[in-house]
Amino acid sequence: MSDIVRVEHLSYIYGEGMPDATVALDDISFSIEEGSFVGVIGSTGCGKSTLIGHFNGINRPSKGKIYIGGEDIWENPKEIRRFRFMVGLVFQYPEYQLFEETVYKDIAFGPVNMGLSEEEVNRRVLRAAKFCGLDAAVLSKSPFELSGGQKRRAAIAGVLAMEPKLLVLDEPAAGLDPEGRDTILSQVKRFHKETGTTVVLVSHSMEDIAKYADKVLVLNAGHIAMYDTTSAVFARAQELLQLGLSVPEVTKVFLRLREWGLAVPADVYTVPYAANIVREALAKGGTGTC
Ligand SMILES: Nc1ncnc2c1ncn2[C@@H]1O[C@H](COP(=O)(O)OP(=O)(O)OP(=O)(O)O)[C@@H](O)[C@H]1O
Ligand SMILES: [Mg+2]
């Protein structure tokens, strides 16, 4: 598999040259494999939003390079628009950007801007709405008539309708109730599985990252603290705690069991995996070792 994103020695400074300059990212290098689902975690202010803003050229590196699909996106700044279409970025609270008279027009906004035919725009709007669980009756409504969760899904559908090669979501479930969170994230996962689109998900919720991501990038004060498979990252619970982060509840339970001397693995991060381990232990006669 090839890399969809390659970041080389990226640094980003807000207010460069000013007395109050802030180094938000400091010499970061990593890459993202095409077709993967990468979670990005890190405490407030560590640089998550600044980093993902580089993927479609909203932020321009102070130093270093960003490659999307093997192309240096700033090689020819006049062509940056092409990468804005290739990388779909869902900002925090994207529903504040809904502004058209109907939900249909809002979802169609990106594809229309891309200069696609009316027929293709229509195909994309209906497909994106379906992925986001918005039925036809909703499309003719004003975005302002929708519930909070529906608004959020309409805003996400607008990005999906651009059919990006890379979908980046900054806290897409923030502020929603648990049911709303699960609905949105499982729709994103289904979109990822069915279309093969690479996804980058920024979240404060370790449970969500554990449930959906294959790999996790941990940022700390503008540096990469870890970048590994989800199980390898959550197995480093102690270090995560030192970075002011947490681990999924089920991981905490298994770490406590290890402290009690039970021979259970340290990298248990989903409930189904935990259930399997318990089942196997019981099948062995519940002797305390797995
Ligand atoms: N527009 C800005 N001007 C100046 N400094 C900024 C600006 N935006 C962010 N910063 C600073 O850059 C650093 C990284 O911020 P960033 O928003 O990328 O963090 P984050 O990890 O997304 O945080 P959060 O979890 O709160 O969303 C912080 O120190 C922040 O104060
Ligand atoms: Mg942020």
CB under 8 Å to 119, separation ≥6 — which residues? none
How remote is the CA of residue 120 from the centroid of ligand 2, in Å?
Answer: 33
| End-to-end Cα distance, the chain | 35
Q: Which of 13, 48, 59 to mutate to test the pocket of ligand 1 (most atoms within 8 A of CB)?
A: 48
149-183 pLDDT per residue, tens:
999 999 999 999 999 999 999 999 999 988 899 99
96-139 pLDDT per residue, tens:
989 899 999 999 999 999 999 999 999 999 999 999 999 999 99
Is the Cβ atom of 23 under 6 angstroms away from ligand 1? Answer: no
Is the Cβ atom of 200 under 6 angstroms away from ligand 1? Answer: no
CATH 3.40.50.720 fits 3-247, yes or no: no
Q: What is the DSSP string of 142-211?
A: -GGGS-HHHHHHHHHHHHHTT--SEEEEESTTTT--HHHHHHHHHHHHHHHHHH--EEEEE-S-HHHHHH
Residue nearest to atom 16 of ligand 1 (CA): 47
Q: Quick check: 283 pLDDT over 80?
A: yes
| Residues 208/183, Cβ–Cβ less than 8 Å | no
Delimit the domains of the chain by residue range: 3-247, 248-290
Strand partners, 7: 30, 66
The two three-digit tokens of residue 128, written as one number: 């994106």
Distances (CA, A) of 106 to 73, 81, 171, 206: 27, 20, 21, 32
pLDDT band for position 287 (cuts 50, 70, 90): low
- Measured in whole angstroms, how far is the alpha carbon of residue 236 from the centre of its chain? 21
Q: Which of 18, 25, 46 to mutate to test the pocket of ligand 1 (most atoms within 8 A of CB)?
A: 46
Q: Which residue has the tokens 């689902």?
A: 37
Q: What is the pLDDT of residue 5?
A: 98
Q: What is the pLDDT of residue 289?
A: 52
Q: Quick check: 15 pLDDT over 90?
A: yes
Strand partners, 220: 223
CB under 8 Å to 269, separation ≥6 — which residues? 210, 230, 231, 234, 247, 248, 250, 251
Residue nearest to atom 5 of ligand 1 (CA): 14
Average pLDDT, whole number, for the chain?
A: 94
Classified as helix, coil or strand, 221 is coil
